[in-house]
Amino acid sequence: MNLLLFFVILVISFIVVRIGAIAFELTGVDWSFAKFQALSCFTGTGFTTRESELITANPQRRRIASVLMVLGNAGLVSLVATFANSLRPDVLEFRIPFLGSVVPYQVSPLVNVVIIAAVLYFSYKIFNKTNISRKLTKALRMRIINRDMIKRVSFEELVISTGGYGISSIKICDSSPVLDKTLQESNLRSWDITVLAIERKRETIPNPQASMKIIQDDTLICFGKLENIRSKLCEIN
């Protein structure tokens, strides 16, 4: 029973981390970074990187990280407890027909260890390298989006530098406060935001003029303080 419970908790842990990664991605961060940060939060490893500003500086991401930390602590404690119980020599948790007549009583904990190691390996492969992983991720993402559990962000922060400054790629939606304004009218410079380029209908316009009008579905490549960029360009009603 302990070994079966270990497997169940392990699978649930993989799914929770994947949900956390999807949630981070929907808030606008890169998928590889989202997976790393979700795993970091869940395991409580606490990696300190400059990219962590993307998590700590955003209220929605902080909430996601907090949930992952709480669930991670509970999950890891349960895994350790069930793993320890699985090593009891008086219980062969995973009973295979005729195994009792082949495997001596004293080495039953070793059998459990081998089974656990095999399950860990194949679980990792399944959840990271196969079509099953991609299908599961797609299904979870659609469920999260349909239930409106995460407020989606229409930009991706590309580079983080000292002091909270960086480069962001922002797609202008119909509720953006700068929609249908020229760059000059948007007054972005007063907020220490510089538009480096505009992507419009597969065309890139570098160093756009102040008189250029910002239209829906434009993608603005901006440099500035990321907090200002989020608040001034990405407000969604």
The structural domains of the chain, with segments of one domain joined by +, span 2-146, 155-233
The one-digit pLDDT tens for each residue of the chain (237 residues) are 566 776 777 778 888 888 988 888 888 777 778 888 888 888 877 665 666 766 776 778 888 888 888 888 877 777 777 766 666 655 444 444 445 555 555 566 666 677 767 776 776 666 666 677 778 888 888 888 777 777 666 555 555 555 678 888 888 888 888 899 999 999 998 888 999 999 988 788 999 999 999 998 898 999 988 888 877 776 543
**CA–CA dist 191, 196 (Å, integer):** 15
Give the residue among 187, 192, 189, 190 at the shortest CA–CA distance from 177. 187
For domain 155-233, give its CATH number from 1.10.357.10, 3.40.50.300, 1.10.10.2520, 3.30.70.1450: 3.30.70.1450
Q: What is the pTM of this model?
A: 0.55
